[in-house]
Amino acid sequence: MPKAARILLALVVLAAAVLLPRVAGPFWLGLVTQMYVFGLLALSVDLLLGHAGLFSLCHASFFAVSAYTTAILQVRHAVPTALAAPAGILAGTILGLVFGLAVRTRGVYFILITIAFGYVVWGVAHRWSSFTGGDNGVTNVPFPALGTLRVESPTEYYYLVLAVLVLCTIGYRVLVASPFGLTLRGIKASETRMRSLGYHSDLHLYVAFVVSAALASLAGVLYVYYNRFVNPVAASFPISVEVALMAIVGGTGTIVGPFIGSGIILGLRNWVSSFFELYASVMGLVFIVVVLWAPDGVVGLVVRLWVRAVKAGTR
């Protein structure tokens, strides 16, 4: 697609997002806010999956640790948002500094070790009830407020999430187009070659892991203010799997992909679960269909059909 068309498309999508609260009711607005939050989490997973070639299954940990930190500070200690939110991001990022040691392994070992890390965090959230509130979690999280500026309705919060999302997407775009972003794709393509060209590949992957954890933590903060409570489900393994699926279904290595995937998976889940209990098996089928017929996700499929249409047109 030519550059002008891309910019135009981005503006149209942005305009639609800005106008959405005028037409959508509270249910739809809530669902779309959720899609944005999980899209951001899927985007953080995709920095590793789509760019560096690492399949992490512990991103729910950063998401949950930051959500819990913010919630506990804000609810129990009455810490204002201006401190509670950054503290949440910081806590998730520090956890990323520790879990990042997983980059010493590759492939299936990396996947297994991240699963194990994820379960540790879930276990803590679940069992250490005196601190985390156990299964009930932390409830009554207020809307965020900055001094006298306070969010007072879901619609206002929707705009706040949208603004953060736009900024993050721009930052992410710069990052993946930077020399550092290129080194990640180089490592994905051939790590042996990267080493022989002078790259300390483990260190690059470690930095990418921490950046990714920071982004996941930001999503965690947005989540807790949207949800108004947090419980161990946020830290659970299915969340880690689901966000990875979002990136894959939407299209890995792209920026819009994780958001499209988030929209599809959350949309489908809401729709299917309204009339069919075994919604998880439907998700499984969707995943199988994507892997078999659209391995590059929805974005890859659209690009492929587009190329075919252009070829047919010029013939």
Partner 1 sequence: MALSAIEVGDLTKDFGGLRAVDRVSLRVAAGERRVLIGPNGAGKTTLFHCITGTLRTSAGRVSLFGRDVTHLPEHRRTALGMGRTFQTSNVFMDLSLLENLVLAIIGTDRRKWVMHRSVGTFEAVRAKAREGLELVALAHRANDAAKFLSYGERRQLELALALNSDPRVLFLDEPCAGLSPSERHSISRMIGELPRDITVLMIEHDMDVALRLADRVTVLHRGRAILEGTPTEVQTNPEVREVYFGHV
> Which is closer to partner 1, CB of 83 or CB of 177?
177
Q: Say whether residue 303 binds partner 1 (CB under 8 A).
A: no
Q: Say whether residue 179 binds partner 1 (CB under 8 A).
A: yes
Q: How many residues bind partner 1 (CB under 8 A)?
A: 25
> What tokens appear for 58 in the block?
């512990």
Q: How far is the CB of 183 from partner 1 (least distance, A)?
A: 6
Q: Say whether residue 194 binds partner 1 (CB under 8 A).
A: yes
Q: Which stretch binds partner 1 (CB under 8 A): 11-19, 153-161, 190-198, 238-246?
A: 190-198
Contact indicator for 197, 45 with CB cutoff of 8 Å: no
Comparing C-alpha atoms, which of 163, 153, 142 is closest to residue 75?
A: 142
Q: Say whether residue 2 binds partner 1 (CB under 8 A).
A: no
Q: How far is the CB of 200 from partner 1 (least distance, A)?
A: 5
Q: How far is the CB of 188 from partner 1 (least distance, A)?
A: 8
Q: How far is the CB of 101 from partner 1 (least distance, A)?
A: 17
> Which is closer to partner 1, CB of 59 or CB of 188?
188
* SS3 call for 150: strand
Q: Say whether residue 196 binds partner 1 (CB under 8 A).
A: yes
Q: Rounded to whole angstroms, how far apart are CA atoms 222 and 70?
A: 10
Figure out which of the listed residues 34, 132, 183, 231 binds partner 1, where binding follows CB under 8 A.
183
Q: How far is the CB of 30 from partner 1 (least distance, A)?
A: 34
Contact indicator for 282, 265 with CB cutoff of 8 Å: no
Q: What is the DSSP letter of 144?
A: P
Q: Say whether residue 177 binds partner 1 (CB under 8 A).
A: yes
Q: Say whether residue 181 binds partner 1 (CB under 8 A).
A: yes
Q: Rounded to whole angstroms, how far apart are CA atoms 88 and 214?
A: 10
Figure out which of the listed residues 188, 214, 215, 264 binds partner 1, where binding follows CB under 8 A.
188
Quick one: 56 exposed, middle or buried, by C-beta within 10 A (0-12, 13-18, 19+)?
Answer: buried
Q: Rounded to whole angstroms, how far apart are CA atoms 183 and 179?
A: 6
Comparing C-alpha atoms, which of 269, 257, 242, 240 is closest to residue 296?
A: 257
Figure out which of the listed residues 6, 150, 200, 308 binds partner 1, where binding follows CB under 8 A.
200
Q: Which stretch binds partner 1 (CB under 8 A): 23-31, 123-131, 169-177, 291-299?
A: 169-177
> Which is closer to partner 1, CB of 130 or CB of 192?
192
* Strand residue runs (E) in 9-160: 145-146, 149-150
By CB under 8 A, what part of segment 202-241 binds partner 1?
204
Quick one: 143 exposed, middle or buried, by C-beta within 10 A (0-12, 13-18, 19+)?
Answer: middle
Q: Rounded to whole angstroms, how far apart are CA atoms 193 and 181?
A: 16
List interacting residues with partner 1 (CB under 8 A): 174-175, 177-183, 185-186, 188-190, 192-201, 204
